[in-house]
Chain A
């Protein structure tokens, strides 16, 4: 029953549509959201396990056999990301229940979260390039709505930048699709891979691949990240966490797919470019992260650094490095959500975002402080937390490929990550408390529990890395051997 693999996209869409009609009934909206997010998680986990037994699954819509119809392809890489996306969204929904105001809940907040989820999952699962474009647009349009929801002045101004840069890159995406279709005459990814391999990746196809690289870099925040820190720091906490955890990852996923499945013939040009871009991204991100005094800006620049780090794995392109990237991708989705939640909670408690104006939070909110400490260690890559295993594998892969410069920058960037977060930790959590006893409100359980859940997840992912090793190595193996993917898709 391959119909299962469309469920991670269909359930959120249908839920979103129902939620629109439930607009005045906030309770019903919450219940429905929770039920359907659990269903999505359950089905995704089931499909992920089935892939290990039956191999890559595919669903041809309307019975049109590939390469003629649109299809969904579920391999381990896509499904791992779908599972993590669903779990992260689920926990963020719990945070949203007790943090967003009633006005938001009445103004279609939940439906658009679900449309965003549908777009993200669709992008991971689709096996057709144009369908990828459509899923990107579903995701982006919902993100436009979520970033502007609330309509504060600064939000509107920042979202103009965000929306226009994304619209522009979407049209570039379409230009690249048009050129690719004109050159090889197909849009099915597996078929594209076959055709590109047949005609050889000449200069024309390499130029087209670079257009794709630019498009996805804009979406992922690789080198072209100038829009990111501004727009990620204006929306409400839970939306920022959703963006920080999910949106850039879709761009990264698309880049992995394109440059391992289709354009893998000229690593001297494309992969070298990715390497240079990743290095510059990490350096720029580090400078941004230590230059700012605003918690939200520091956290946003941490997203940029992580993007650079993950793409080091793609740049060196050995199986071990790709494994490392996948581990780090999963880790980053969880930990960035937690980091954004903690930053948002700190701002909510103190009423300021400047780190020099906060102090002594750990006295009032010890759990929050310890969670921040764990997050910091996890991001820096201290074992047994989840960031460690990804860093080790990426490092090992980079040594195998002899990319020592890239390796050095990647690991030095971890130190800067640690430093930038230590600055927050020492300024905001240590020292004399600024909150006097009258204002000392106990943290709502609904806000604390999701953060604790993320904290548990990062520890579990670190300690239980063995448990997901099967899936990750299968995902990396499929990525490094495109013929497995091609065979699964084109064999009728």
Chain B
């Protein structure tokens, strides 16, 4: 199972890199979003995808699932949500101001 998920992470990173290298601003933002998903999956896989029970003391289970990666992912998802929404607003404002969302057209724009 871990191998499968790791391959999936690889596929997601490939897609993200492809999008990040494009000239369209929206694609770049989507690229960062997909990259964040890939990283979250990786984080979860690195903790081990065990089939254990809930990590509560006194439940007398044979083995517990490592809860830490999931706590980390929750935090990271919130952060990625905030950052992505900020980037989208920034892209929109830039488009309104400059009339372009093509990164190569945005190069070397001077003041006012």
**B71 to nearest A CB, angstroms?**
9
With A154-B109, A157-B94, A164-B28: A141-B86 Cβ-Cβ less than 8 Å: yes
Q: Which of B61-76 contact A (CB under 8 A)?
A: 68-69, 72, 75-76
**A152 to nearest B CB, angstroms?**
7
A177:B43 contact, CB within 8 angstroms: yes
With A174-B39, A181-B69, A182-B46: A151-B93 Cβ-Cβ less than 8 Å: yes
B40, B46, B76, B94: which contacts A160 (Cβ < 8 A)? B94
- Closest B residue by C-beta to A164: B28
For the complex, is A231 an interface residue (Cβ under 8 Å from B)? Answer: no
Contact with B along A157-169 (1 / 0, CB 8 A): 1011001100110
Q: How far, in angstroms, from A299 to B50 measured CA to CA in the complex?
A: 53
Chain A neighbourhood of B32, CB < 8 A: 164, 167-168, 171
- Closest B residue by C-beta to A182: B46
**A151 to nearest B CB, angstroms?**
6
Chain A neighbourhood of B82, CB < 8 A: 141
A156:B43 contact, CB within 8 angstroms: no
Chain A neighbourhood of B36, CB < 8 A: 171
Q: How far, in angstroms, from A58 to B95 measured CA to CA in the complex?
A: 48
With A130-B75, A171-B32, A174-B43: A153-B109 Cβ-Cβ less than 8 Å: yes
Most buried by A among B20, B36, B43, B103: B43
**A1 to nearest B CB, angstroms?**
28
**B1 to nearest A CB, angstroms?**
15
For the complex, is A365 an interface residue (Cβ under 8 Å from B)? Answer: no
**B56 to nearest A CB, angstroms?**
15
Q: Which of A169-187 contact B (CB under 8 A)?
A: 170-171, 174-175, 177-179, 181-182, 187
- Closest A residue by C-beta to B91: A160
With A130-B72, A152-B111, A153-B111: A164-B87 Cβ-Cβ less than 8 Å: yes
Q: How far, in angstroms, from A134 to B72 measured CA to CA in the complex?
A: 10
Chain A neighbourhood of B69, CB < 8 A: 178, 181
Q: How far, in angstroms, from A154 to B29 measured CA to CA in the complex?
A: 19
Chain B neighbourhood of A174, CB < 8 A: 39-40, 43, 76
For the complex, is A148 an interface residue (Cβ under 8 Å from B)? Answer: yes
Q: How far, in angstroms, from A182 to B45 measured CA to CA in the complex?
A: 8
B87:A167 contact, CB within 8 angstroms: yes
Most buried by A among B20, B39, B40: B39
For the complex, is A137 an interface residue (Cβ under 8 Å from B)? Answer: yes
Q: How far, in angstroms, from A152 to B98 measured CA to CA in the complex?
A: 10
With A141-B83, A182-B46: A156-B110 Cβ-Cβ less than 8 Å: no
B94:A178 contact, CB within 8 angstroms: no
**B9 to nearest A CB, angstroms?**
10
A154:B111 contact, CB within 8 angstroms: yes
With A141-B83, A164-B87, A179-B46: A153-B75 Cβ-Cβ less than 8 Å: no
A154:B35 contact, CB within 8 angstroms: no
- Closest B residue by C-beta to A154: B111
Chain A neighbourhood of B94, CB < 8 A: 156-157, 160
Q: How far, in angstroms, from A187 to B69 measured CA to CA in the complex?
A: 11
A175:B72 contact, CB within 8 angstroms: no
A151:B97 contact, CB within 8 angstroms: yes
A159:B111 contact, CB within 8 angstroms: no
Q: How far, in angstroms, from A159 to B97 measured CA to CA in the complex?
A: 13
For the complex, is A430 an interface residue (Cβ under 8 Å from B)? Answer: no
A171:B75 contact, CB within 8 angstroms: no
For the complex, is B59 an interface residue (Cβ under 8 Å from A)? Answer: no
Contact with A along B23-40 (1 / 0, CB 8 A): 001001100100110011
- Closest B residue by C-beta to A134: B75
A153:B83 contact, CB within 8 angstroms: no
A181:B43 contact, CB within 8 angstroms: yes
A144, A157, A170, A179: which contacts B98 (Cβ < 8 A)? A157
Chain B neighbourhood of A144, CB < 8 A: 83, 86, 90
Q: Which of A131-155 contact B (CB under 8 A)?
A: 133-134, 137, 141, 144-145, 148, 151-154
Q: How far, in angstroms, from A321 to B24 measured CA to CA in the complex?
A: 46
Sample of 7 more A-B contacts, CB < 8 Å, known A137-B83, A168-B32, A174-B40: A141-B82, A141-B83, A148-B90, A156-B97, A160-B103, A177-B43, A181-B69
Give the top 8 A-B pairs by smallest Cβ distance, nearest first.
A182-B46, A178-B43, A156-B94, A178-B46, A174-B39, A178-B42, A154-B111, A137-B79
Selected A-B contacts with CB under 8 Å, 9 pairs: A137-B79, A144-B90, A148-B93, A156-B98, A160-B106, A164-B32, A164-B87, A167-B83, A181-B68
B interface residues, Cβ below 8 angstroms from A: 20, 25, 28-29, 32, 35-36, 39-40, 42-43, 45-47, 68-69, 72, 75-76, 79, 82-83, 86-87, 90-91, 93-94, 97-98, 103, 106, 109-112
A interface residues, Cβ below 8 angstroms from B: 130, 133-134, 137, 141, 144-145, 148, 151-154, 156-157, 159-160, 163-164, 167-168, 170-171, 174-175, 177-179, 181-182, 187
